[in-house]
Amino acid sequence: MDESDFKAYEDEIQALEEEIRLLTEKYEDLRQESTFFSDEEILKAKQSFQRETQGETKGHESPSDLKAELESLEADLSLLMEFTGFHFTSHSRKIIERTKDKTVQKYRLSGKCHSLSFQVEFQLLEMQNNENVSAVVSDLSIIMESRDDLNVSKFVTSTEECGDLLTFFRSFSTYAEWHEHRRSTFLHFKAKYPDIVTLPEGLLGDFIILKNPKVSGFELMIVWKIHLDEEGTTTPVLDLLPKVPEQVLQQSRGSVERLPGSFRSALRLLGIEAAIENLLTVLASGK
């Protein structure tokens, strides 16, 4: 075998190695992105990747292996959404810079957690040092429902300044879960006591009105705020505000004034649903 034959083989081997490297990079990019794709985007990506891998040489990973990998990622994503309540509706990623040991990417994510929508933009710097990989988030921008709430606004501002993406997702998940809990509780009592419970601001409001149909002008307002502090801790805050006709108030002022305190005690002892249920039971009985 002469030198020209060796040269031809070397060129072919180098070409194959380059092709394998490019396909590996594409596959790794797809695997990273798939954790943020919606169901529709995952399906499109899988179909596109399957088409591109048709007819590849035997030395490459088979389409069936790639399909199994994507199906596993889909299952992980489904479990993540079920566990956290997050559902990503759109995702984009742009590679700004890539070198041998550094990659800079810009991400944009949109979606919902339970009933609350959000949008996140950030830049991710990944550094490769020997076998260690470090990642740093910067330029974090968050748009979330309830941003007009002063406490929520402070939390968002603090999280953006720190670039703490993990804290945002963890805290927003808990915050949205409480919103969903409040909504389902209001819905439950409205369906069970339609003549007593009214929702002036709908299911997404932060209070309900309880009326005794047999006593004109008598109302109990249950206010249910959801407080999110700068550290990302969510705390439900409930209180009872009675509205009593003047003639009734003059006769039973002491009892009326004790109602809010009694309700707070019931909350501590019984929990939210049971405390509200007790009030509704008394009103429904007409006592």
Residue 58, pLDDT score: 45
Question: What is the tens place of the pLDDT at every residue in 264-278?
Answer: 999 999 999 999 999
How far is it, in rounded angstroms, from Cα 81 to Cα 37?
Answer: 12
Question: What is the tens place of the pLDDT at every residue in 121-150?
Answer: 999 998 887 777 788 889 999 998 765 678
Is 123 in a helix, a strand, or coil? strand
**Domain-located, residue 267:** yes
**Domain-located, residue 279:** yes
How far is it, in rounded angstroms, from Cα 140 to Cα 268?
Answer: 39
**Domain-located, residue 59:** no
Of residues 239 and 12, the one with the higher pLDDT is 239
CB 135 within 8 A of CB 126: yes
* Mean pLDDT confidence for 74-99: 79
Other CB atoms within 10 Å distance of the CB of residue 228: 23
Of residues 207 and 19, the one with the higher pLDDT is 207
**Domain-located, residue 32:** no
Strands 219-228 and 132-144: unpaired
Residue 12, pLDDT score: 62
Q: Is the dihedral of CA 183, 184, 189, 194 positive or negative?
A: positive
**Domain-located, residue 5:** no
Which residue's structure tokens are 């929520």?
152
Highest mean pLDDT among 48-52, 61-65, 264-268, 280-284: 264-268
**Domain-located, residue 166:** no
Q: How many domains does the chain have?
A: 1
**Domain-located, residue 29:** no
**Domain-located, residue 120:** no
How far is it, in rounded angstroms, from Cα 94 to Cα 97?
Answer: 9
- Which has the minimum average pLDDT: 35-39, 84-88, 180-184, 269-273? 35-39
Residue ranges making up the domain that contains 252: 176-285
